[in-house]
Amino acid sequence: MLTAKFDQLVNQLRVLPGVGQKSAQRMALHLLTKKRPQGIALAHALDDAMRGIKECQRCHSLSDEEVCPLCQDPRRDDSQLCVVETAADVMAIEQTANYRGRYFVLGGHLSPIDGISADDLNIDQLVRYVTQSPIDELILATGTTVEGQTTAHFISEAVGRHVKKVTRLAQGVPMGGELEYLDSMTLGQALQNRSFL
């Protein structure tokens, strides 16, 4: 324990995932002794982000405005809607640069064990989205966990009749993967979902 202010900073840094007492102390010391101006800039950026970033009214991803830049972009394809669990998934898919459609963020997945039911996700909003805007293809990009699969199935039931087709991300062999190290579920899925060369 150095000072009360130092302890307070360490305690706040510990809210970050994977940051324990030791790492928090190291971060705080680093900022105080070597990166003070950057530390102040960090504090400002945090304050700005925490107060200013909200949920996009349309896709429920993160946004500075009522509607996010992705939803506002006229070059995106309105006929495809990719349903993901979190804003992090939007970022991951955007980084592939392989998708030009729109997104919809559910806000998680169904998980009875954790008490997360359909009412806790943006499913009503998704139904409203697809009934208000015509969609050709709804791409279900929820996780491949049991919860993710259950969520995909649930959405397909709830929304499927409002769209022309519902697709699911292919599952199978990861890039650079050796077949012998794959679990049999993944390899089985890869065989089922095989595509033309």
User: Contact positions toward Zn ion, by CB under 5 A?
Assistant: 56, 58-59, 68, 71
Shortest Å distance, C-beta 181 to Zn ion: 39
Shortest Å distance, C-beta 140 to Zn ion: 18
Shortest Å distance, C-beta 96 to Zn ion: 18
Strands 62-63 and 54-55, sheet pairing: antiparallel
Cβ atoms of 62 and 71 within 8 Å: the answer is no
- Between 17 and 74, whose beta carbon lies closer to Zn ion? 74
d(CA 17, CA 88): 15
**Cα-based distances in Å from 39 to 5, 15, 28, 29, 53:** 14, 17, 9, 11, 20
**Cα-based distances in Å from 16 to 23, 131, 152, 175:** 10, 39, 30, 31
Shortest Å distance, C-beta 94 to Zn ion: 12
The DSSP element (H or E) to which 101 belongs, if any, is: strand 101-105
